[in-house]
Structure 1
């Protein structure tokens, strides 16, 4: 948490579960960050360069990308996950980020961090499966999750303009 002379500023890690530069999830995450109050600083932490988790590599000198990711999450006060749905679950890159951050055993960077989830899809079902799949991991990761309101954004393509901004009205 960053303290200012008037109010504390919370650091919110934003993890986007899609690697595509123009993904609907990334566009929605940016729109949410743009609407955040001044008391919240949104920090996008990229997950696309994280090598797949392999316990054999997690010794005294883990991959630099893992160390950088873990340090960035440790600096935050909460995490917002914005994810598409792949096969009724979360994308592999997001699961890998959860694995990297929660290991080695007993040293999870996620432990105790409040979490929120927004699932996004261009389809009509609202990515319900992804939303609930990631929530299952929070129990093990000891992350209290915001229960309400739930956020399932369907028909994402229709909500965004040609520049990727959320349309008015």
Structure 2
């Protein structure tokens, strides 16, 4: 399915699973935001302001940071999550944010939302275990995982120059994945209009 007119532009929320100031995950998202424009507008979000999940706090009016995160997911056409791997899994800060957005139960703002994942690590494995763990969580939240070859970036620290992801082969592969996300987002938008 090919899309060529100006209505092909999609708004993607890019969520970084790392809080580090010089985070590779955040830098990858920022590189992609520049490369993917104008067909994809990627709004990069970090999770510094998200409090620990506490069901006692999960009621109106609630945290403004949580409200902003949920609104950003709802208003996006799709979500792109970039995460490092910590101890064979996803960082606690990312799981925490997903726990907030999974509520209320069975009514998550991620429900039926197209989502793509990029995982990375200093090791050659590229965060594959984090990717699988993240997929499990997103499936439980009824997100629509975009199918295709998984994007994993091994030896991520060797693929940057001046805070810019500069692995051309890897970038080409990632852009193909982003195109699949864009198409899924457009299909979902079209189906929603039909109803």
Aligned to 1:110: 110
CA distance in 2, matches of 1:131, 1:6: 33
1:13-28 matches, within 5 Å, as 13-28=13-28
Kindly indicate whether the alpha-carbon contact (under 8 Å) linking 1:70 and 1:109 is maintained by their aligned counterparts in 2. Answer: yes
After TM superposition, give the deviation of residue 87 of structure 1 in Å. Answer: 0.8
For residues 127-157 of structure 1, give each alpha carbon's deviation from its aligned partner in whole angstroms, at most 9, with x where no partner exists. Answer: 1101111001121111111221211101111
The more displaced of 57-66 and 150-159 is: 57-66
CA RMSD across the alignment: 1.5
Q: Aligned partners of 1:167, 1:61: CA distance in 2, in Å?
A: 43
Counterpart in 2 of 1:167? 166
TM-score normalised by length of structure 2: 0.79
Name whichever of 148-157 and 5-14 sits farther off: 5-14
Query: Could you say which structure has the higher helix fraction?
Result: 2
- More deviation, 71-80/98-107: 98-107
Encode CA deviations 1:41-99: one digit per residue, 9 max, x unaligned. 10112212100111111122211211111111111011101000011110000001101
8 Å CA contact retained: 2:18, 2:46: no
2:105 and 2:167 map into 1 onto residues whose CA distance is 46
Alpha-carbon distance in 1 for matches of 2:116, 2:165 = 20
Give the Cα separation in 2 of the matches to 1:97 and 1:131: 16
* Deviation for aligned residue 1:37: 4.3
Corresponding residue of 1:47 = 47
Change beyond 3 A, Cα 1:59–1:166: closer
